[in-house]
A and B are shown apart, each in its own frame.
Chain A
Amino acid sequence: MDIKVLKDRLFESAKNEGFESCEIYYQSGSSLNVSVYKGNIEKYQSSENGGFCFRGLYKGNMGYYFSEDPDIDAHMAVKSAKENAEVITIKDKEFIYEGDKEYPAVNVYNAALEDITAEEKIQTALDIERYAREYDSRITVNRSMVASGDNYVYICNTEGLEVSERENHILAYVEVMAEENGEAKEKGEIWIGSDMDSLDPKKLSETACKKAISALNSESIKSGGMKAIIENEIFADIFQCFTESFYAENVQKGFSLLKDKIGTQIASDTVTITDDPLMPGGYATTAFDGEGVASRKKTVVEKGVLKTYLYNLKSANVDGVSSTGNGFKGSFRSAVSTAPTNFYIEKGDKSVEDVIDNIDYGIYINDVAGLHSGANGISGDFSLAAEGFLIENGKITRPVDQITIAGNFYEVLKNIDTVCSDIKFNSSAIGSPSVYIKNIEVSGQ
């Protein structure tokens, strides 16, 4: 769609319909995704897609309308947005932002990625599959995939804001199954990057294969409270379930237990949490948020003390502070809400091995399941299916499965004894080092 032509039509209709100010948020992208199976291309998928969201202030209320249809009747879209605005009863002031004077420079687009051919991607996927197959006779490869994508965002409004950003990336994913004695374990490993040279297909395959094979012949353990190390990426996944409680809008509406906790100790003093949209190479790196506010790095928790919530323009206005640049949309379709960018727990000094050395009896968790259902973002309670290894007398002794780990996230934050030195980000840009917790409830036999 010719977005500038559509924009002009929408803005004109909006003016006629009595909107005070309005904005268009346009997003488009293309992707190529190849999967191989048993040495052949199994799936080859390519796409070109885009859509826009119109929003505007009508009698102080924000009305929204989205569409993927390039031939949309602009007048109809604006009228729908007006109908939506008319039922809104929220009193907090909404904003169509005039923009910042300056935006940080970020490097999120690598032109060289466009030159990588489909054949090269297919070959890489085949290599990944072959390395995995050759790793061990107990391994079968369920999926080996290479995908590339680019994404363009353009925001323009009647208050003077006009910003755009183009981002691209490539990812590789392998999912392997190890089988022995009639039992199977399936594990995957993902890599995301901005240039193909930093992908090591062999290492990716080996990591997935090692995970699957080391989990073979697992058994459950006795229920009870245990010392636990939770592996970096897994703790990042758990942390992600509770990031919403850092959003000012949730605090203001009473959906967060972090209400009135600014300046107080909410985690052990080993925990520092940062939101850094400017981090080089970060999966969520961006120059501006979904409202057009310039990005900036901030410390959210410093040595356990809560320093700030994450704000968009509306929630910042309620608290009388500036937006932290965290006003994002889930997709172009959604209303502006809040989201972290590259959000992570800062790493510590100790290696995981050093921590294991000092544990007489404990558990090392390297997989969890059921995060979407077994973790409650409001209460902080979680109970998750888990796998890992038993630690006895400073050594990993055997694989463990068919257990759950349960606790309350806010208690866990306070009980983190050691934050290790091995930070890793999950694919949603949430990062954590492995953490050592003095006690977690384990349910098994």
Chain B
Amino acid sequence: MINVKTAQAVLEAAVSTGAEFAELFAENNSRNNIGITNGIVERANSGTDKGCGIRIINKERVIYVYTNNMTYDNLIKIAREGAAAIKGDTKHNITVFNRLEVSNAHPVIIMPDTVEKKRIVDFLMEGHSRAIAYDSLITQTGLSYLDSVQDVLIANTEGLWAEDRRVRTRISVSAVASNESEKQTGYFGPGALQGFEFCENTDIKAIADEAARCAVTMLKADNCPSGKMPVVMDNGFGGVIFHEACGHGLEATAISKRASVFTDKLGEKIASDKVTAIDDGTIPNSWGSINIDDEGTPSRKNVLIEKGVLKSYMTDRYNGGIIGMAPTGNSRRESYKIVPVSRMTNTYIAAGTDKREDIIANTEYGLYAKYMGGGSVNPASGDFNFAVNEAYIIRNGKICEPVRGATLIGKGSVVLKNIDMVSDDLALAQGMCGASSGSIPVCVGQPMLRVQDITVGGRG
């Protein structure tokens, strides 16, 4: 994308006014997507995003300039424009780049650009046929496929030269169940840091069945009750509770401004003994994994909370610098158009020792949240919310009737202490996480767990 000589000249221009640090991030991202609605191929699109961003840091000031005009002259021009906003006295001598040697922990077998579109369509159509045949109440389906091959180059004034390729594939399956006046949906969106082999290894029929079953079940369900009650959250996407209630509050982006309830809490007990939480960007082929982060720091496994005690934040170079912590491999961004900040990768609550059956059996009355939707949090107050897509009432230790339309809310600092049972069946689930550096692929995860007391916002 950019040769060594150009990179060197651009970085020199970027620190020509004495900035402490400059970094170049170049990207080429080729994508395909196909959408099928009600069994008809409605959408097929492909293309490439390509551009470059130059970040200049001096003390606590960040200058960022970006463009998709990657000619030598234009890159030098924008680097100088950026440098003009800095008056520093650091001298640099960028003579040689040290190439970061990272072995690819995420092998790709079938590159997306070698796959015939027809094959992708056939694969999605299997899902459609299955979902529509599931029940006469299923009236609509929507399936989609997307892939992206993102090549990145990161070079900085400390002599780092790092390159990485991220190949991602994701599908989504949704089914709509209808009666005369109502519609309910079931949705799943699995993905991986993999090529088309992800699709080959995915049982789309089973996913279609599950989406259809969820839609039909919710169509027949009553409204969820309101008020505070114990909630049992199933494994996999249930992990969205940790992602929202705690994860965002442990990102150095919030900590550096003291705009998180977890500021100054390292070494303190912030969760119940049952909670050990991990952010691990190294899980092979996992949707949220990366070989290196977007500053060129190798990804790693970070224990955030160990038996309830806060062990680490997730940091990037800039925000970590403000709070005096080294980068943890969490600096991420949607594209070259956005400055990277501390973000999650694959974040989960580790397996405990309780058994699923015991968690249900020990709950006299409460809500069993089988599938969760997305959520959000305000890290400053810790107020979080997330949606429940499929839920049941637990009565006398048994899962009873389905209920719909619930959002769970609470404060992160409180809910973490209220987790009183954690089972041994850890599973991860894939999603997109939106924050100040854009929308990025992440996994959430957890074993089945119980929160003693949480506000359930239903309509009943």
Contact = CB atoms under 8 A, between A and B. Distances in A.
B455 A220 contact: yes
B458 A406 contact: yes
A379 B183 contact: yes
Contacts of B41: 87-90
A369 interface: yes
A43 B62 contact: yes
A328 B67 CA distance: 25
B24 to A, nearest CB: 15
Contact of B259 (A70, A186, A369): A186
B233 to A, nearest CB: 15
Contacts, number: 242
A445 B227 CA distance: 5
Contacts of A406: 226, 405-407, 457-459
A268 to B, nearest CB: 18
Contacts of B60: 37, 40, 42
B365 to A, nearest CB: 15
A253 B38 contact: yes
Contacts of B69: 1, 48, 70
B380 A185 contact: yes
B45 A374 contact: no
Interface stretch (A78-86, A106-114, A199-207, A356-364): A78-86
Nearest to A407: B459
B49 interface: yes
Given A49-B337, A383-B406, A402-B455, A87 B176 contact: no
A378 interface: yes
B153 interface: no
B261 interface: yes
B34 interface: yes
A376 interface: yes
Interface stretch (A59-67, A128-136, A284-292, A428-436): A59-67
Given A370-B407, A381-B405, A376 B185 contact: yes
Interface in A400-435: 401-408
Interface in A333-373: 333-335, 369-370, 372-373
A41 B45 CA distance: 40
A334 B82 CA distance: 31
Contact of B261 (A40, A68, A184, A441): A184
A42 B63 CA distance: 8
B387 to A, nearest CB: 4
B145 to A, nearest CB: 11
B68 interface: yes
Nearest to A185: B381
Contact of B378 (A53, A186, A373): A186
A44 interface: yes
A68 B68 contact: yes
A385 interface: yes
Given A87-B41, A186-B259, A443-B227, A333 B337 contact: no
B256 to A, nearest CB: 10
A118 B40 CA distance: 50
B67 to A, nearest CB: 5
Contact of A87 (B118, B140, B457): B118
Interface residues of A, number: 78
B44 A177 contact: no
B213 interface: no
B450 interface: no
B44 A378 contact: no
Interface string B370-381: 000111101011
B44 A88 contact: yes
Contact of A48 (B44, B67, B182, B407): B67
Contacts of B455: 220, 402-404, 443-445
Contacts of B150: none
Nearest to A88: B41
Given A66-B45, A80-B46, A84-B45, A383 B62 contact: no
B249 to A, nearest CB: 11
B383 interface: yes
Nearest to A387: B383
Interface in A292-336: 333-335
Nearest to A385: B385
Q: Which 4 A-B pairs have the closest CB atoms?
A: A404-B457, A66-B47, A443-B226, A373-B374
Given A186-B380, A254-B139, 8 more contacts: A41-B85, A43-B64, A47-B67, A66-B48, A257-B182, A378-B176, A384-B407, A404-B457
7 contacts: A43-B63, A45-B339, A49-B51, A384-B385, A406-B458, A406-B459, A407-B459
Interface of A: 1, 37, 40-51, 53, 63-70, 72, 80, 83-91, 118, 140, 142, 177, 183-186, 220, 223-224, 253-255, 257, 333-335, 369-370, 372-374, 376, 378-379, 381-385, 401-408, 441-445
Interface of B: 34, 37-38, 40-51, 60-69, 78, 81-82, 85, 117-118, 121, 139-140, 176, 178, 181-185, 224, 226-228, 257-259, 261, 337, 339, 373-376, 378, 380-381, 383-387, 404-407, 409-411, 434, 455-460
